Structure 1
C-alpha cells in the first residue's frame, strides 16, 4: 500500500485559491473561522450579498474534513425523515429535512454558476443493502422519502448488480438528486468564488482568541485582529482551542479511503457505469465510487494513522477483491484519512455562542450538502439578524458525554471487524 497521507483529492485538485496569512487589523461585517464547506459557503454568500467578510483558516483552505471527504453529494442525513421528526418535532424536523432535500441542487447550482472544476457528476447515489436486514432498512427509507416526493427508486439485487458491477448486494436505494465531486476542488472553488466576490481569505491564520468588543466580535490571530458585527465558527471536526470560546462538543470518528490506479477497459467498464457514488448499510459502513480518471475509491470507518492502520489497509484490499472479483489484485495508488464530527443523535447543531454569533458543526459524515446549506443560510441569518433563516433552530448548549471513550470504542469496533471479515 502507498503511504497514509497520499490524498487523491489533493493530487487531482484543479481549483487554486490564493489566501495569504492575515497581516494587520481588519474590520468587516462577518468574521468566519474555518475554511471548509461551511466557512467557504458563508464567505461566498456574504460577499455575493455585498457584505464585507473575512475567513480565517488555521491551515490551507480545505485542510480538514472538506478536503478528505468521500465526495458524495447526498440529500438529507444518515437519519431518515421520520427519525429526524421524532427527535426535533414535526415542524422543526420538516424544516431541516426540506432544506437538506434541496442541498444537492444548491451544491450543483453553485458549481455551475461559478464554474468550479471539481469533477461534478450529478447522476445519483446508491445506498446498498449488504444483507436482508439492510434491504429492509433501505425499503423503509424508500417509503419515507417517496412519501415526501423525493426522486428515489428501490432496486432489486439484479439491478443493483447491473448498476454497481458487484454481485454482493441484496438491493439498493437510488437517489437521483445526489452525485459525486472532488470535495477539495469544490471547497477551494467556493473559496475562489468568494474571493472574486470580495471576501478576504486568510490561510495559515489560526484564531488564538475570540472576545466581545462593543456590539461586535474580535478575532485575534498571530498576524493581526479582525473585528466584525457577526461571527461564524465553522471548524467542525478540526476545531483547535481558541481562548474565549468553548470547543464544540462532538465525538471524533476517523474515516479512511484508498484509491486504486486508474481502471480502464476490460471488467472495469462494468463498475459503476452510470457514475453513481455508493455506500452500504453495514454497521461499520463502507463507501465506494470512481473519479474522473477511473480510479476506484473505497472508504470505511477507521484510522489509518492509528495502531489498527495495517488492519484497515489489509481489509481494503480484501474488500475490493470481494466487491469486484473480476478485477483480481489491483494496485493502490492513494491512501488517506480524515475526521468526522459525530453527535449523539446524529443531527447537526447550530449553537448561539453569543450575540449575533453561531457555531455550526456535527454533520456526522454528511459534510458537503449540509455544510453548504448551513454556511449559506447562517451567513444570511447573521447579516440580516434573522434566526428564522437558519435551517435549524439554534441552541445555547450541547454536550457529548465520554466522547473520547466513544471514539475509541468506534475505532476498536472497526479494527476488530476489519480484522475478521470483509463487511461489517
Structure 2
C-alpha cells in the first residue's frame, strides 16, 4: 500500500477541502522575530495564531505543507477530556488540569466561529461505547465523574446506541455533549489562514536542520536561511526528528488508518450514524467512526507501527466496519489513508522547557484536535503574558526501550487484540 506519508493526498479530507492550500513560499534568507514555531499543525498554528493576536512577531516553519502530519489526516473528532478519568486527572494535576481538558473542545469551536473557518463543524456529541459487558462499568464511572463536574452527560443503553448509531454491537455507554466534528485538514488550513491574516509569516517546504542557542536568542537553521528568535516552540509531535535531544524518543509513534466509503444512500444514512455524533469504543485498539458532511461512513483504527501503510490494517478496518454495519457491506470504499499519532506513557500531553526560551509540546494520545488547539493557546498565553501553564512542564524522558519499539509494540498490539477479544476495557 506504499508509505503512510504518501497517503496524505489520497485522503477524503484532501479531496474535499474548502480551505485552499496556503502554498507559502519556503524561507529564503534571514529573519529576526519574537517567536519561531516549528511545525504547522494544530499545536504550532494555535500557538502562532494566539501569539500573533497578542502582538508578537511570529514565523512558522513547516517541513512539508500545512497539516501534512496528523493534523490533516485524523478522523476529525473533537473530543474533550483525556484518556484518564476526571478524578485521575485531578490527582495528577489538580482542578486546573480537569478544567483545561474538559474545555478543550470549546477552544476549537470558538476558533472556527471567530475566524470563519470552512471546516463543516458539527457539534452533536461523542459516544463512548462499551464493546463488552466487562467494559461498561468503567465508562459509566467516567460519565458520572464528568456529570459531578456539571457536564450534561447522557447514559446510553444498548438500545439507545443502536437507535443513534445503527448497530446493536455495543453494551451501552455514554454521550458527551461537548464534543463534535470538523473536517480536520480544512480546520488546520483555516488556522494558518487566520495566522497569516493576523500578521504572521508562514514558510512551507522549509525543514529545520539545526537549532542552537545564540546569546539570549535562538538560531533556527533551514536549507536556505536562518530565523533568529527570542522564543522557539517545537510542535512536530509524531513527525519530529532529532531537533531537540531525546524529544522524539520520549513518545511512541503509532500509525492510525482511516477508510471512507462512497456516500451512503439516504435509506442507509438515516440508520447508520443517524445522530451524526462521533463514536469510539472502549477497546485498547479501538475503532472510531463518524459520518462525513456528504454522508460517507468514515471509520478508523490504529495498531500498525512503522512508516509503511499496512494492508492488513486496512483489511481489518473494512472487515470491522462491515461487521458492525452489515447494511454497508456492498457500499464501496473510496478512500484509504493513514498517519502517525504520538502516545505518552502517562497518557498526558507533554510540555517541555529544556532551556530558557525553548518550548516543546506533544503526545495527545488520540485527542489531538481539541488538546493540541488548547495547548497552543495556553503556550501562547504563557509566552506572551506569563500565564501559568495548565500542563506543568516536565523534563524530557526518553522511553527506555524506544530503540526496540517496533518489535515491542508489535507484541503489544497482539496482546491488546487478545485483551480486547476477552472484553477488557481499554
TM range (shorter): over 0.9
CA contact (8 A) 2:155 2:175 kept: yes
Per the alignment, residue 76 of structure 1 pairs with 81
- Provide, for residues 148-177 of structure 1, a one-character-per-residue CA deviation record: whole Å limited to 9, x for no partner: 111211111111111111111111210000
Per the alignment, residue 18 of structure 2 pairs with 14
Change (3 A) 1:306 1:30: closer
Between the aligned partners of 2:190 and 2:410, the Cα distance in structure 1 is 33
Per the alignment, residue 324 of structure 1 pairs with 325
Between the aligned partners of 2:68 and 2:308, the Cα distance in structure 1 is 23
3-state SS of 1:389 partner = coil
Per the alignment, residue 285 of structure 1 pairs with 286
Q: How far apart are 1:247 and its partner, in Å?
A: 2.9
Between the aligned partners of 1:369 and 1:355, the Cα distance in structure 2 is 27
3-state SS of 1:226 partner = strand
Aligned counterparts, 1:153-302, within 5 A: 153-242=154-243, 245-248=245-248, 249-302=250-303
Q: How far apart are 1:303 and its partner, in Å?
A: 3.0
3-state SS of 2:334 partner = strand
Q: How far apart are 1:67 and its partner, in Å?
A: 0.9
Between the aligned partners of 1:372 and 1:416, the Cα distance in structure 2 is 33
Q: How far apart are 1:48 and its partner, in Å?
A: 1.1
Per the alignment, residue 34 of structure 1 pairs with 39
Between the aligned partners of 1:238 and 1:305, the Cα distance in structure 2 is 12
Per the alignment, residue 396 of structure 2 pairs with 397
Q: How far apart are 1:363 and its partner, in Å?
A: 0.9
Q: How far apart are 1:306 and its partner, in Å?
A: 6.9
Between 401-410 and 92-101, the greater mean CA deviation after superposition: 401-410
CA contact (8 A) 2:104 2:374 kept: yes
TM-score (norm 1): 0.92
3-state SS of 1:270 partner = coil
Alignment coverage as a number of residue pairs: 417
- Provide, for residues 232-290 of structure 1, a one-character-per-residue CA deviation record: whole Å limited to 9, x for no partner: 11111100233x64434101111111111111222332112221111000121110111
Q: How far apart are 1:407 and its partner, in Å?
A: 4.7
3-state SS of 1:302 partner = strand
Between the aligned partners of 2:48 and 2:3, the Cα distance in structure 1 is 34
Q: How far apart are 1:417 and its partner, in Å?
A: 7.5
- Provide, for residues 179-237 of structure 1, a one-character-per-residue CA deviation record: whole Å limited to 9, x for no partner: 01111111111011000101100111111111112212111111211111111111111
Between the aligned partners of 2:174 and 2:391, the Cα distance in structure 1 is 27
CA contact (8 A) 1:47 1:198 kept: yes
**1:64 to 2:88 alignment:** no
CA contact (8 A) 1:41 1:372 kept: yes
Change (3 A) 1:194 1:308: closer
3-state SS of 2:113 partner = helix
Between the aligned partners of 2:308 and 2:220, the Cα distance in structure 1 is 37
Between the aligned partners of 1:305 and 1:220, the Cα distance in structure 2 is 28
Per the alignment, residue 54 of structure 1 pairs with 59
3-state SS of 1:47 partner = helix
CA contact (8 A) 1:251 1:404 kept: no
Between the aligned partners of 1:207 and 1:3, the Cα distance in structure 2 is 22
Segments of 5+ residues of structure 1 without an aligned counterpart are none
Change (3 A) 1:325 1:413: farther
CA contact (8 A) 1:253 1:411 kept: no
Between the aligned partners of 2:159 and 2:128, the Cα distance in structure 1 is 15
Q: How far apart are 1:316 and its partner, in Å?
A: 1.9
CA contact (8 A) 1:252 1:403 kept: no
Segments of 5+ residues of structure 2 without an aligned counterpart are none
3-state SS of 2:162 partner = helix
3-state SS of 1:133 partner = coil
Between 259-268 and 63-72, the greater mean CA deviation after superposition: 259-268
Q: How far apart are 1:81 and its partner, in Å?
A: 1.4
User: Aligned-pair RMSD on alpha carbons?
Assistant: 2.4
CA contact (8 A) 2:3 2:309 kept: no
Between the aligned partners of 1:233 and 1:246, the Cα distance in structure 2 is 13
Between 399-408 and 163-172, the greater mean CA deviation after superposition: 399-408
